[in-house]
């Protein structure tokens, strides 16, 4: 690969319920990363309220940017470009970050780089803490599994910023299925961590929930497994008031992880990928991480837990490659709430 | 009241599609039914019939999804399931959504008195694995008319 020009990027992320700013060098070395979470505010609603989120971003954005600069011991003059999440996400939330980024780019006369949030999740595997040992850089061709509350898709990357979508979910995203099953097992929000916690103590072999392989395609479906859990729970309730929540959670989790893992492995083989990358909120799931780490056929990149959830470091990484490869945005950049990766 | 029987998710979606084409800004639809009753499938049909450019997903983490149409109109899709306490009316801000477009609310019972008095109530009931019974109740004059139009669209006459 040709050597890319060095640059220090300040990145802003406000696509959902986290107000985040990070500064990073050359797409990899993280100098600072600040995330103001609105989790507590939204927890009482059991989900993110868009109006509430955007109002909160307005309050948090300035202090978060100032804190990121202070933590990196830098001033705005030390920054080469401003990257910002342009979509997908909540329109009212995205606008706050985009306007902040535009204002800064205009005032400082620095380039502005709009970044896709999903692309950010993928690039979180490029990030490491400045001063730490430099981890190996993902190598192309790369099979990328993107798995979160809103997305489940397989992309083949033959180069930077190039995404060939092989398949995606036909119904529920994997993270959504986790939350729905948590609901019916009466586990608290957010459902992913709740299921994981119950599953640790459960027997994953007790219930044989269906796996939708959808052979011949690289698509996923998680609606069926959710419905089978529902029928199983209804059935169990008829017989006893004692529901084996841990076994149900473990068996459900195993059904989802099996499909995600095996389909990704098969796709990597089929398309001649050198390595595998797993990204998005559900990549924090321990069973999923364990499945990928237990195999030795492909080197696997999964971000550290701190970078699995929304953050600006990943936007800075993707933003750097966009900037260095010449994809700079115009000042009329607008939010794209439904922007697909490919 | 109108009662429909659906024999498949596809049919549930098609019933939604017919209703979606009749929606106007300010309309409020309340969708009731257990998990797996077909609320998301029905809403997918509604949004398609209405002309949404965006794909419908269940508002699981984001409690309100917004779908857009080519003419700029908006359709709001709210899921109130996780609400443990009824929020303040101004936090929820239903009024501003209804002012801007049509609104679909799943699990409306969680919102108590905040639900607009006039609305179309749709109840989806499990009969068997694939079969669903759907009851449409009109609350208010606009919804009597809407029901009449659905009746026309679905059964003719």
Mean pLDDT of A8-19: 96
pLDDT in tens, chain B (157 residues): 899 999 999 999 999 999 999 999 999 999 999 888 889 899 999 999 999 998 887 777 788 889 999 999 999 999 888 777 777 766 778 888 899 999 999 999 988 888 999 999 999 998 888 899 999 999 999 999 999 998 887 776 4
| A115 has pLDDT over 80 | yes
In chain B, where the domains are located: 2-155
A163-221 confidence digits (pLDDT tens):
999 999 988 899 989 998 998 999 988 889 999 999 999 999 999 999 999 999 999 99
Task: State the pLDDT at residue A159.
Answer: 97
- C-alpha to C-alpha distance for A204 and A195, rounded to whole angstroms: 12
Query: A176, B82: Cβ pair inside 8 Å?
Result: no
H/E segment holding residue B124: strand B119-126
Q: Which CATH architecture has domain A8-127+306-324?
A: 2-Layer Sandwich (3.30)
Residue B99 sits at the chain A interface (C-beta within 8 Å): no
* Nearest residue in B to A52, CA atom: B91
Q: What is the pLDDT of residue B83?
A: 77
- Does residue A1 surpass a pLDDT of 60? no
CATH superfamily of A142-302: ATPase, nucleotide binding domain (3.30.420.40)
Minimum mean pLDDT among A40-44, A53-57, A89-93, A182-186: which range?
A40-44
* B56 to chain A: closest CA residue: A171
CATH class for the domain made up of B2-155: alpha beta
Residue A249 pLDDT > 80, yes or no? yes
Query: Radius of gyration of chain A from Cα atoms?
Result: 20
What confidence tier does A313 reach under pLDDT thresholds 50, 70, 90? Answer: very high
pLDDT classification of A13: cutoffs 50, 70, 90: very high
Residues 62 through 81 of chain B touching chain A, CB cutoff 8 Å:
62-64, 66, 79, 81
Nearest C-alpha in A relative to B67: A338
Residue A123 has pLDDT above 60, yes or no: yes
Mean pLDDT over A111-135 rounds to 97
Q: What pLDDT, on a 0 to 100 scale, did the predictor assign at position B89?
A: 67
Residues A77-102: tens digit of each pLDDT: 999 999 999 999 999 999 999 999 99
H helices present in chain B, as ranges: 9-20, 39-50, 89-92, 94-100, 141-155
Mean model confidence pLDDT for chain B: 89
Compute the mean pLDDT over every residue in chain A, rounded to the nearest whole number: 95
Query: Does the distance separating the beta carbons of B85 and A16 come in below 8 Å?
Result: no
Structure-token pair, residue A125: 């595997």
User: Taking CB atoms and an 8 Å cutoff, what residues of chain B touch A175?
Assistant: 61
- Asked if B93 lies within 8 A of A51 by C-beta distance, the reply is yes
Contact A183 B81 (CB under 8 A): yes
pLDDT of residue A40: 81
Hey, is B72 helix, strand or coil? coil
Q: Which chain B residue lies closest to A224 (C-alpha atoms)?
A: B36
| Domain assignments of chain A as residue spans, ordered by start | 8-127+306-324, 142-302
**Could you check whether A8-127+306-324 and A142-302 share the same CATH topology?**
yes
pLDDT tens-digit series, residues A261-292: 999 999 999 999 999 999 999 999 999 999 99
> Cβ contacts (< 8 Å) between A176 and chain B: which residues?
57-58, 60-61
Write the CB contacts of A290 (distance below 8 Å, at least 6 apart in sequence): none
The DSSP secondary-structure symbol of B114 reads G
Percent of chain A with pLDDT over 70: 99
ipTM value: 0.71
Residues 6+ apart with CB under 8 A from A215: none
Cβ <8 Å between A45 and B87: yes
CA distance B4 to A112: 54
Q: What is the dihedral of CA B14, B72, A117, A277, to 10 degrees?
A: 30
Distance CA A111, CA A89 (A): 23
Nearest by CB to A230, which of B35, B84, B85?
B35
Residue A150 has pLDDT above 90, yes or no: no
**pLDDT band per the 50, 70, 90 thresholds, residue A45:** confident
């Amino acid at each position: 690969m040709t050597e890319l020009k060095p640059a220090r990027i300040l990145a802003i992320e406000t696509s959902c319920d986290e107000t985040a700013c990070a500064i990073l060098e050359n797409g990899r070395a993280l100098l600072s990363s600040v995330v103001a979470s609105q989790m507590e505010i939204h927890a009482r609603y059991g989900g993110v309220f868009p109006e509430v989120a955007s109002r909160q971003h307005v309050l948090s954005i300035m202090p978060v940017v100032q804190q990121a600069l202070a933590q990196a011991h830098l001033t705005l003059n030390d920054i080469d470009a401003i990257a910002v999440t342009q979509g997908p996400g909540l329109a009212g939330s995205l606008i706050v970050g985009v306007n902040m980024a535009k204002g800064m780019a205009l005032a400082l006369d620095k380039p502005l780089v709009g970044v896709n949030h999903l692309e950010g999740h993928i690039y979180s595997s490029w990030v490491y803490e400045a001063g730490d040992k430099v981890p190996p850089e993902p190598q192309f061709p790369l099979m990328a599994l993107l798995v979160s509350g809103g997305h489940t898709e397989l992309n083949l990357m033959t180069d930077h910023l190039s995404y060939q979508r092989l398949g995606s979910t036909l119904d529920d995203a994997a993270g959504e299925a986790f939350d729905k099953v948590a609901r019916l097992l009466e586990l608290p929000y957010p459902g992913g961590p709740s299921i994981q916690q119950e599953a640790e103590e459960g027997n994953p072999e007790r219930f044989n929930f269906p796996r939708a392989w959808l052979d011949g395609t690289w698509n996923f479906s998680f609606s069926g497994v959710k419905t089978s859990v529902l029928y199983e729970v209804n059935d169990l309730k008829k017989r006893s008031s004692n529901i084996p929540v841990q076994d149900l959670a473990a068996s459900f989790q195993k059904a989802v992880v099996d499909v995600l893992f095996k389909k990704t492995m098969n796709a990597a083989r089929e398309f001649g990928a050198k390595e595998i990358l797993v990204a998005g909120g559900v990549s924090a799931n321990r069973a999923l991480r364990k499945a990928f780490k237990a195999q030795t056929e492909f080197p696997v990149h999964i971000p550290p837990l701190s970078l699995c959830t929304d953050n600006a470091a990943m936007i800075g990484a993707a933003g750097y490659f966009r900037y260095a490869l010449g994809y700079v945005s115009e000042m009329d950049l607008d939010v794209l709430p439904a922007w697909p990766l490919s | 009241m109108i009662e429909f029987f659906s024999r498949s998710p596809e049919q549930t979606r098609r019933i939604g599609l017919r209703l979606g084409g009749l929606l106007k800004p300010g309309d409020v639809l309340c969708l009731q039914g257990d998990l797996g009753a077909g609320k998301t499938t029905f809403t997918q049909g509604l949004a398609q019939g209405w002309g949404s450019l965006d794909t419908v997903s269940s508002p699981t983490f984001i409690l309100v999804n917004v779908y857009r149409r080519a003419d700029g109109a908006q359709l709001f899709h709210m899921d109130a399931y996780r609400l443990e306490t009824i929020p303040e009316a101004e936090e929820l801000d239903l009024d501003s959504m209804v002012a801007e477009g049509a609104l679909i609310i799943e699990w409306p019972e969680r919102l108590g008195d905040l639900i607009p008095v006039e609305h179309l109530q749709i109840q989806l009931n499990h009969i068997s694995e694939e079969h669903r019974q759907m009851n449409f109740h009109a609350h208010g004059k606009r919804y009597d008319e809407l029901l009449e139009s659905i009746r026309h669209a679905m059964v003719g006459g």
